[in-house]
Structure 1
Amino acid sequence: MRKSDALMICLATSAIIAAVPAAAQAETRTIAALRRYDIDAGSMKAALDAWARQSKRQILYRTDDVRTLRSPGVRGRLGDADALDRILSGSGLRMHRDASGAVAITRPVAFASTIAQDVAPTAAAQEPAATQDASGIQDIVVTARRTEERAQKVPVSLTAFTQDTIRQKSINTATDLQNFTPSLTVLGNVARNQETYTIRGMGGGGGAGTGSGPGVVGYFAEVPSSASGPGSFYDLASLQVLKGPQGTLFGRNTTGGAVLLEPARPKMNRVEGYVEGTLGNLRRRSAQGALNIPVVDDVLAVRVAGQFDKRDGYVRDVLTGRDYLNRDNYSLRLGIQFNPTDTINSYTAVNYIQVDEHGGGSILLAVRPGSPYAALLQPYLAQQQARGPRETSTGVNTFEKARNLLVLNNTTWNPTPELTIKNVFSYGRTRSTSATDRDSTPLPIADLLGAFPGSYNNNLRTITEELQARYDDGRFSLQGGGFYLDEKSPSPLTFLTVNPLQAGGILGGGPIILPSVVQALLGVNGPLLPALNIQPDASVRGRSKALYAQAQYKIVPTLTATAGFRWTWDSFGGDIQSYQDAQSYQVFNRLAALGIVSPAQAAQVIGLNANLCVYDAFLAVAAGGFPTLKYPNCTKPTFSGKSDGPTWQLGLDWQADPQTLVYAVSRRGYKSGANNPIVTLFLGSDYPLAPVKPERVTDAEVGLKRDWTIGGVKARTNVAAFYTWFNDVQVIQRAAIAGSDILANAKKARVVGLEFEGLIIPFKPLTISGTYSYNDAKFLDYVTIPIPAIPSALTAAQPSRDLSSTPFTFVARHKFSLDGRLALPIPAAEGDMAIRATYSWQSRQRVAPDAQPFDTIDPYGLLNLRLEWNQMRGAPLDLAIYGTNVLNTAYRITANTGYNNSGFSNSIYGEPAQYGLSLRYRF
């Protein structure tokens, strides 16, 4: 009979330990009687229950202690104690017994991190995300193979963090995460919260409707999530960065890897939680907390968590005083764990993130002489260079607003100890709108004003469904299933864009440049008249389906072979509508009243251009005709495409000893093909740049994971070396048509690299850890497709260029980080006090494939310092005083490299020095 209440276990264990010796000896004789046992390998919980039935004895244990463990089972005629010893073999659990015949199973805390058996596959695992032995070396539970395992047992290169590590390293966004993760680069666009991961040189853009997508996919509780930016890195069980193609188990587009966020799940029979507040400079004030509530013992528990983060911006607009790059976001999370039976457990989560920030803060870096707006931009560039990177002047009050909702359910059923059936369903809704100033000046050259009131630039509804089965008998395991994704925009996407008014309207002549006297007469600020382009209706859609299977077989107990295969089918499409705002052209009536143009000329320009359907006009002019269609009678150009492809994995890993894992693996990755809507609209669907081929990636990786003990010194070293081949690698060609980026293919490329993560404890108070990565990424065969001049799109001819042998963009060849923690000598009753210093550095990154000013982000290093006092005076209070980027290093985190096309380039700089304190209360 099972009792899972913690108090019962404590009382039973105390009674067992206190039993009189004579009674204990009698029980020993009884329990030693031989009995036939027939218990299969598999779930530890099932094995213990089977022992209780077959021995006809009472057994007490905490469900949380055994739920995620596996047992080798037992067969044959044995004494009860011997049978139970075999069931518990290698698990770290201990048996206690008393004269009544009751047997209690407990887990010594100090042994938790030395468990040799992998964690069993269950979505309801109550194990801690990380354990730590007396040496102080953590071992984190990860889900890199869609089942829970210790990180040191997983034959793949990964970097994993616990929530405590995230807090101690001040990781609040993906941009922070890159400083502590080998081979990871995170860059945003001029919309700062649109963060994109790049791992080992593989990343990329694209999105719903156009196909493709990022080459590194983020997952939340096993569900692909499009949310990026702030508001995600709190109350996590673990944060994992998987490197290299992950397409067999995680699906499409994970050619570079995957970033897994595993939320802390509700725990049974336990009230616990925390509250943490932070205050700092730039008026930083933030808080987060979580509350775990047991509802029905062993059946139902709920966890509620939330956070908010507010901070002033660190870039100021000298014209308006508005601060940019501030923080203003909050998140809420509800988790429900429901275990109606011993074999069924279900986790439901609702995650909501809201962002309402000023965004912006981009800095003009360079202007190309002879470009259309060079003469106008040069004075602003000189002013910007005099100001430095913490001040700017723009013509748009930029902002970023986003609402992200994710609802998911992860249910597993274990009909037998060897078989697990899992179903993962999710519903996601992402809505965002932003205003950006692409030219970083007050001039209306390339400005996005956002969406219609009440509408969004991005409004995506996503549904995913995955059914998975896993069989594991201890020697052979097989998991497989099917995946389905459906995404679409449930309501029209709208855009308001400002560009200079052209002399004959948007289809004729160059921009109107007003003399200063005319500016004064018209009462306008600046030499350019703004023209508003309205996109009242656009939509996107996409579907993806896949079937997959992966098997593992232990050739001998220490040597395991892995093979997996997946096939994915993708379809995508969308449509768009655009017209010219009539109000923008009323300025011609004012020009006519001033005598600058005649009334007839004004009437002609207004009559031609007001409400003119933009894309219909482009097609008419290109065909030698005359544009006539006006809104709302515009046609709606469409774009669509299909793509499919395989992914696979072959691997071999050898557990040389309990502390050493050696592995070799080769994987194929697939990224969906795509369509360039801007090329389709201007040059037609048959133009070579309109369709984009699928990207295919093949890699070979060897690695070693090893824990060491040398003369009492504890250490860990994990190293991986890899070689990656690309075919039809998808690349971004900046500002190619009408100022818009396009996606293209480079025929061949390769990446050679090395990654290292290490930790050493030379003596007990001092812990030193470090990471390093080397990535040599370059194109082997890359010749761009020429683009003809498109006068109606204000696009000059772009000849073909041979970019073979050029390096990848957004890849730092060298990256390293060093982290040192020194415990200070204070009485144990006063708690644990330590100082921590973390330094991260990365070499130069190329951000443009063609040579131009600021085509490279210079090397930079960041130093963080922290003084922490945990368990203050024995209380559950943790205090920390922190400083980030304490040397106030100026470094770039984005790149808009349009110098050779639009004629200018700009960037956003990273956060300056910040300091503050945080206080955390645990209960």
Structure 2
Amino acid sequence: MSAMCKLAYGLSLGVSAAALVVAAPAVAQTGVDPAASPTPVGGGELGDVVVTARRTEERAQKVPVAITAFTQDTIREKAINTATDLQNFTPSLTVLGDVARNQETYTIRGMGGTGGQGTGSGPGVVAYFAEVPTAASGPGNFFDLASLQVLKGPQGTLFGRNTTGGAVLLEPARPKMNVVEGFVQGTIGSLNRRSAQGALNVPIVEDVLAIRVAGQVDKRDGYVKDVITGRDYLNRNNYSLRLGIQFNPTSTISSYTAVNYIDVDEHGGGSVLLAVRPGSPYAALLAPYLAAQQARGPYKTALSTPTFEKAKSLLILNNTQWQATRTLTIKNVFSYARDRSTSATDRDSTPLPIADLLGAFPGSYNNNLRTITEELQVRYDNGPFRIQAGGFFLDQKSPAPLTFLTRNPLQAGGILGGGPVVLPPALQAALGVDGPLLPALSVQPYASVKAQSKAVYAQAQYKFTPTLTATAGFRRTWDSFGGDITAYQNPGDYQVFNRLAALGVISQAQAAQVIGLNANLCIYDAYKAVAAGGFPTLYYPNCTKPTFTGKSNGPTWQIGLDWQADPSTLLYAVSRRGYKSGANNPIVTLFLGDNYPLAIVKPERVTDAEIGLKRDWTIGGMKARTNIAAFYTWFNNIQVIQRAAIAGSDILANAQRARVVGLEFEGVLQPFRALTLSGSYSYNDAKYLDYTTIAIPAIPSALTAAQPSMNLASTPFTFVARHKFSIDGRLALPIPASAGDLALRATYAWQSRERVASDPQPFDTQPAYGLLNLRLEWNNVRGAPLDLAFYGTNVTGTQYRVTANTGYNNTGFSNSIYGEPAQYGFELRYRF
């Protein structure tokens, strides 16, 4: 990773997280108790989940929105522990991670996976926890939930900006009045799995005050081993704590406060080298490592950096609602969040120090964000007419410097030229170094990011008849963003030139020249000087702080019509506009100036049209449910990634026009009381209609060759599986009712191949794969509130990739991480 790559990488870690949370929160309150919602089980009714897709609690079957919803029991039975697991059971959802495994990104209907590499922008699918936008994609989130909801399509009217693809809502179980209840659950399994979770609901003052305390700890050994050090990668070691307080001082005031904390301390890593481009700068050095990796398979690797991922996340929120009159409700939602993380990654996946992020300074973080959100909402509901209106504000900043330590090969002439120093074996022995490359450390002692978002919105519903309802909404959002950064070259690394001079490899004068030029050199000032035809003159601590700022704004809207044809049938049609904030590319500004076309990234605008049918059936003695949605989505200025375009760094750009055509289906069938079958399917045909890249000139100071303009029209989107389906069957086994409920469950999830790189290269497509999970569960054992289960996940041992680092055509190599192998375990749950 070059120094300029580190610039973009550092800003992307800070600002992509910032962009993820710059969105208006969903609101959920009153009406129905989510914890009491029925769950589809082996007998009885099909069940329905309480959802908050329209900022109020409703049964999922009554909501004219394409939505996949899960209860906590369903999450447990389907072994959904992370967002990667979630994708296997959700139509049109894809989740891929970076080399830092827990940095997962949602993509729905082709939108969301690009992230935001410059300041501003962000993913097109936003995650929410308890009505507040959050980076809720890693471990430690999917426990003690009332519901988990995936909304498909633009959600920008009620949910704010950056929801061009959809939203993922995590609703925690809230405290109940006047009841003591809870559960404890433990799991042991393969890879030394040790997991526990539990919750306790305690009433404090009758009808006035109750609290709920919940927690989870998850530990498991890694499934990828380092053949050199023996270190295991891709382990699990995290815990979460959650406190909920429900305070109802009067019959018209309801106040919910939540405190959620997540701590992750894991080894990360586990990436394996997939391909090396012949003729690339490190091809000759990497070739034997590639051969060795191919021989040992995807669950063994050899890295130069002991990778890790550490994160601490604190979220405090309050949702207070006042029923001012029978028809008027006023709600205020406030949140404070502090997210800190640091990680070490080996981006070349070899023992060579080619592109390694070593983490942050001791006591510091790569990502350190403080976020405050405030929303005031007014809802008027008077029979056939309902209107929701409000304003939203977000303020985000890094309260402490964001620091990075990045290791790249030492270059003969310094970081601005000369190529890497490649040592012959005899010289390696003489210098006492291990390997042909000398590592050089780039130090980023300071960087900061900031963002603000403001919005006003209103959405109205009007019932023309008791069964026919029209909906119209509008929102306007204003965003601002920015950041700055400082970096220099570690002086200690250049002392090796004195040792080379002592060995007679170079002269003392040459050693003095290289050391004098490069030790403590301000990296970005040096790039700017050379790009302008000058010579580097600034040294740390006298570096400047390149500053990058931007603004963006845009409207979003929705119009729709839904018809409740009968109590079991809902038909709807809707059209929506989505907006994703514009951005800028600091790396382009640094080398080519503010006026170069790639410096500014335009806002992304999405318009869709969707029709849907939700219906419950009774056919003879069988119960069934079928939900189907068809959609067409138009994109203008869709934000895409150009891989390693300048100085080895990715940049964000705009594709002019694109479209997605799709179909989604979810169904449940009970042929008889003991058997429940469910399934889902999605079809997404996503491609660019007009996409011509902007040419990039040769930049000698960035060691970047000229990149011509390319016409990529008719090429498919990345991170979109054209076909996905899942099938789940639960068969209740015949035992006496007094003995409980014994059942066998099998779940199979499959997706077709998907592109992971826009330009043709080896491993640019992830092959199709399917995963089979099995579960034998015994609930209410002998009439006691005790549940037992034996489970197996990926029981066929399918090998499949879950990340994509496709730098073959630019950096010269590609690597990836493989998904979890077959695992088995035992689960015990006690309810009280």
What is the TM-score when the length of structure 1 is the normalising length?
0.86
Aligned partners of 2:32 and 2:58 also within 8 Å: no
Task: Tell me how far apart the structure 1 counterparts of residues 158 and 320 of structure 2 sit (CA, whole Å).
Answer: 18
Identify the residue that residue 712 of structure 2 maps to in structure 1: 803
Question: Where do residues 532-611 of structure 1 align in structure 2 (5 Å cutoff)?
Answer: 532-611=441-520
How far residue 739 of structure 1 moved from its aligned partner, in angstroms, is: 1.7
Cα distance in 1 for residues equivalent to 2:150 and 2:55: 14
1:121–1:584 CA distance, 2 compared to 1 (3 A)? closer
Q: Are the aligned partners of 1:402 and 1:432 in contact in 2 as well (CA < 8 Å)? A: yes
Deviations along 1:761-793, one digit per CA (max 9) or x if unpaired, are 000100000000000000000111112222222
Aligned counterparts of 1:431 and 1:320: Cα–Cα separation in 2: 28
Query: Hey, what does 1:328 align to over in structure 2?
Result: 237
> 5+ unaligned residues in a row in structure 1: which ranges?
1-119
Question: Secondary structure of the equivalent of 1:179?
Answer: helix
1:274 match: secondary structure: strand
Cα distance in 2 for residues equivalent to 1:123 and 1:282: 43
| CA distance in 1 between partners of 2:445 and 2:620 (Å) | 71
Aligned pair 1:417/2:307, yes or no? no
Does residue 624 of structure 1 match 2:560?
Answer: no
Say whether the 8 Å CA contact 2:118–2:586 is kept in structure 1. no
Could you say which residue in structure 2 is the equivalent of 1:293?
Answer: 202
Q: Which one of the candidate residues 38, 54, 71 is aligned to 1:131?
A: 38
The alpha-carbon deviation at position 443 of structure 1 amounts to 0.8
Aligned residues with identical type, % of pairs:
80
Q: Give 1:69's aligned residue.
A: none
Counterpart position of 1:471: 380
Aligned length, in residue pairs = 804
Letter in 1 for 2:581: S
The offset of 1:132, in angstroms, is 5.5
Query: What's 1:181 paired with?
Result: 90
C-alpha contact 1:705 1:719 (8 A) present in aligned 2: yes
Query: In structure 2, the residue corresponding to 1:592 is in which secondary structure?
Result: helix
| Secondary structure at the counterpart of residue 708 of structure 1 | strand
Match of 2:592 in 1: 683
- 1:912-923 pair list within 5 angstroms: 912-923=821-832
Query: Distance in 2 between the 1:379 and 1:123 partners?
Result: 63
- Choose the corresponding residue for 2:57, options 136, 143, 148: 148
Does 2:563 align with 1:664? no
Q: Is the 8 A contact 1:209 1:572 kept in 2?
A: no
Is 2:34–2:147's contact at 8 Å kept on the other side of the alignment? no
Question: Can you list the C-alpha shifts for 1:809-847, whole angstroms capped at 9, x where unaligned?
Answer: 000000000000000000000000000000000000100
> 1:203–1:216: 8 Å Cα contact kept in structure 2?
yes
Task: Tell me which amino acid in the other structure corresponds to 1:328.
Answer: N
Whether 2:172 is the aligned partner of 1:263: answer yes
**Contact preservation (8 Å) 2:417, 2:703:** no
Query: Which one-letter code corresponds to 1:860 in the other structure?
Result: Y
Query: Which residue matches 1:85?
Result: none
How far 1:625 sits from its partner (Å)? 1.7
Q: Does 2:734 align with 1:734?
A: no
Match of 1:841 among 750, 753, 760: 750
Q: Is the 2:118–2:585 Cα contact (8 Å) retained in structure 1?
A: no
Asked whether the equivalents of residues 117 and 651 of structure 2 are also in contact (C-alpha less than 8 Å), the reply is no
How big is each residue's C-alpha offset from its partner over 1:823-874, in whole Å with a ceiling of 9 and x where there is no partner? 0000000000000000000000100011000000000000000000000001
The more displaced of 163-172 and 499-508 is 499-508
Q: What one-letter code is carried by the residue in structure 2 that aligns with 1:721?
A: A
Aligned in 2, Cα 1:325/1:132: closer, same or farther, shift over 3 Å?
Answer: closer
**Is the alpha carbon distance of 1:902 and 1:776 closer, same or farther for their aligned partners in structure 2, counting shifts above 3 Å?**
same
Question: 1:512-911 maps to which residues of 2 (within 5 A)?
Answer: 512-911=421-820
Matched residue type, 1:178 = Q
Offset at residue 623 of structure 1 (A): 2.0
- The correspondence for 1:122, drawn from 19, 26, 29, is 29
- Corresponding residue of 1:339: 248
What SS class does the counterpart of residue 414 from structure 2 fall into? coil
Hey, what's the Cα distance between the residues in 2 that align with 1:733 and 1:132? 44
Deviations 1:99-141 (A, max 9, x none): xxxxxxxxxxxxxxxxxxxxx9734853535225973301111
1:673–1:695 contact (8 Å) kept in structure 2: yes
The one-letter code of the counterpart of 2:416 is L
Aligned partners of 2:343, 2:250: CA distance in 1, in Å? 48
Question: Residue 208 of structure 1 contacts residue 487 of structure 1 at CA under 8 Å; is this kept in 2?
Answer: no
Q: What's the CA shift for 1:526?
A: 0.8
Query: Which aligned runs of 4 or more in structure 1 are off by greater than 3 angstroms?
Result: 120-129, 132-135, 204-209
Cα deviation for residue 686 of structure 1 reads: 1.6
Question: Which of 109, 113, 132 is matched with 1:223 structurally?
Answer: 132
Answer 1 or 2: higher relative contact order, Cα 8 Å, separation at least 6: 2
Deviation of 1:207 (Å): 4.9
Q: Deviations over 1:377-406 (max 9, x none)?
A: 011000000010000001000000000100
Q: Contact 1:452/1:495 (CA < 8 Å) preserved in 2?
A: yes
**Structure 1 range deviating more: 200-209 or 474-483:** 200-209
Note if contact 1:751-1:775 (Cα within 8 Å) is conserved in structure 2: yes
Q: Secondary structure at the match of 2:284?
A: helix
- Name stretches of at least 5 consecutive residues in structure 2 with no aligned partner: 1-26
Name whichever of 495-504 and 817-826 sits farther off. 495-504
Which shifted more, 222-231 or 603-612? 222-231
Cα offset, 1:205, TM superposition: 4.0
Deviations 1:191-210 (A, max 9, x none): 00000000000014445981
Q: Secondary structure at the match of 1:128?
A: helix
Match of 1:160 among 69, 89, 107: 69
User: Are the structure 2 counterparts of residues 121 and 210 from structure 1 closer, same or farther at C-alpha, using a change threshold of 3 Å?
Assistant: closer
Q: After alignment, is 205-214 or 178-187 more displaced?
A: 205-214
Between the aligned partners of 2:722 and 2:254, the Cα distance in structure 1 is: 45
What secondary structure sits across from 1:231 in the alignment? coil
Residue 89 (structure 1) aligns with: none
Does the 8 Å CA contact 2:776/2:791 hold for their aligned counterparts?
Answer: yes
**What's the C-alpha RMSD, in Å, of the aligned pairs?**
1.2
Aligned partners of 1:124 and 1:346 also within 8 Å: no
Find the counterpart in structure 2 of residue 492 from structure 1. 401
- From 342, 355, 363, the equivalent of 1:454 is 363
Corresponding residue number in structure 2 for 1:284: 193
Q: Deviations over 1:699-745 (max 9, x none)?
A: 00000000000101100000000000000000111111222111110
SS at match of 1:339: strand
Deviates further, 405-414 or 683-692: 683-692
CA distance in structure 1 between the aligned counterparts of 2:215 and 2:696, rounded to whole angstroms: 50
Structure 1 window deviating more from structure 2 (508-517 vs 299-308): it is 508-517
Letter in 2 for 1:832: D
Per-residue deviation, 1:310: 0.4
Please tell me whether the aligned partners of residues 660 and 687 of structure 2 are also in contact (alpha carbons under 8 angstroms): yes
Deviations 1:279-319 (A, max 9, x none): 00100000000000000000000000000100000000001
The CA deviation at 1:416 is: 1.4
1:407 corresponds in structure 2 to 316
Pairwise CA distance, 1:329: 0.4
Q: Separation in 2 of the partners of 1:286 and 1:530? A: 40
In 1, are the aligned partners of 2:443 and 2:490 still within 8 Å (CA)?
Answer: yes
Structure 2: which amino acid aligns with 1:468? Q
Structure 1 position 235, deviation (Å) = 0.1
Is structure 2 residue 482 aligned with structure 1 residue 482? Answer: no
- C-alpha distance in 1, partners of 2:700/2:222? 40
Q: What is the distance in 2 between the residues matched to 1:897 and 1:348?
A: 43
TM-score, normalising length from structure 2? 0.96
Larger radius of gyration: 1
